[in-house]
């Protein structure tokens, strides 16, 4: 009888530990001395040159990955990269199923700052309007009219701008799509009149395939940061320290040279 009770107790304990393990962070390795921790980073890879896919290997590559890898090397950790839709990135880090967002994400967004913690920023950017190269009527945001469709990627600052244009009655439809690759395709096919997208990414698309152009001024000012779960100060400190080191030792400039 006594043995049975002890056994039941042990079983209950084992189950508690099993559940606790389920709720653990995505990071692997228990942090024991000498063991290298591997963090899980997530991104949305239709955002060249920051986040893209190697056409030959299918591997996720880009400025963000190279920069995070350099930070990881400097700080003695490892990172794996997983693709998901842009509007799933913050929920993934909030729930702990991922550790880091490496996705050219504007860190200067109060709504996002309530949900995740951002590193120091690593790239200044801004949004632009992109149209077909032969378009003569749209020379900037003010030329968009109530009969036009404008596309952008779900969950992005570009989507916010596009939806604002729609809500102000300035365009006919805000076409919110999963990938910026699809936005650009729809533009080329004539399904939409314009795309609102980050300027360096617009330039990368223009370099890859002809037929589109940037018009007008840059619409806003944003700065990209890496994001971690709220309160994960340990990881955030490592990212910030590593970022500063790779800026100071010239690696950051080499990566800018490589990707831009
Ligand atoms: N900079 C924009 C934002 O913060 C777009 C980022 C899109 N990134 C991506 N990997 N698709 O919303």
pLDDT of 135-158, one tens digit each?
999 999 999 999 999 999 999 999
Distance 121 CA to ligand 1 centre (A): 14
Helix, strand and coil in the chain, % to nearest 5? 40, 25, 35
Which atom of ligand 1 is closest in space to residue 105's alpha carbon?
Answer: 4
Quote the percentage of the chain above a pLDDT of 70: 88
The Cα-based distances of 254 to 49, 124, 204, 246, 260 in angstroms read 14, 17, 18, 10, 10
* Average pLDDT of span 172-184: 98
Q: Is the CB of 44 under 6 A from ligand 1?
A: yes
* CA contacts within 13 A on the Cβ side of 211: 10
User: What pLDDT is attached to residue 209?
Assistant: 79
Q: Is the CB of 161 under 6 A from ligand 1?
A: no
Q: Is the CB of 104 under 6 A from ligand 1?
A: yes
CA–chain centroid gap for 102, Å, is: 5
Q: Is the CB of 106 under 6 A from ligand 1?
A: yes
Find out whether the peptide bond into 49 is cis, omega within 30 degrees of 0. Answer: yes
Please tell me the pTM assigned to this model: 0.89
To test the ligand 1 pocket, which listed residue (41, 43, 45, 47) has its Cβ within 8 A of the most ligand atoms?
47
To test the ligand 1 pocket, which listed residue (41, 105, 126, 178) has its Cβ within 8 A of the most ligand atoms?
105
């Amino acid at each position: 009888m006594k043995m049975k009770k002890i056994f039941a107790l042990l079983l209950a304990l084992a189950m508690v530990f099993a559940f606790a393990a389920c709720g653990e962070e995505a990071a692997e390795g228990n942090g024991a001395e000498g063991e290298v921790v591997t963090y899980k980073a997530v991104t949305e890879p239709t955002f060249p040159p920051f986040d893209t896919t190697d056409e030959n290997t299918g591997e996720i590559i880009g400025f963000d990955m190279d920069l995070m890898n350099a930070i990881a090397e400097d700080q003695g950790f490892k990172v794996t990269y997983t693709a998901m839709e842009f509007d799933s990135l913050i929920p993934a880090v909030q729930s702990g199923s991922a550790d880091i967002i490496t996705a050219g994400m504007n860190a200067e967004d109060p709504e996002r700052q309530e949900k995740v913690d951002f590193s120091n920023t690593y790239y200044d950017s801004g949004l632009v309007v992109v149209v077909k190269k032969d378009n003569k009527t749209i020379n900037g945001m003010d030329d968009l009219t109530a009969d036009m469709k404008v596309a952008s990627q779900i969950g992005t600052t570009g989507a916010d701008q596009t939806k604002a244009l729609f809500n102000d009655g300035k365009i006919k439809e805000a076409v919110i799509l999963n990938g910026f690759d699809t936005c650009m395709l729809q533009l080329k096919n004539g399904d939409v009149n314009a795309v609102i997208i980050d300027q360096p990414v617009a330039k990368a698309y223009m370099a890859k395939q002809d037929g589109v152009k940037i018009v007008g001024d840059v619409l806003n000012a944003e700065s990209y940061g890496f994001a971690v779960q709220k309160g994960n100060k340990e990881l955030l400190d490592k990212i910030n320290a590593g970022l500063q080191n790779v800026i100071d030792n010239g690696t950051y400039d080499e990566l800018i040279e490589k990707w831009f």
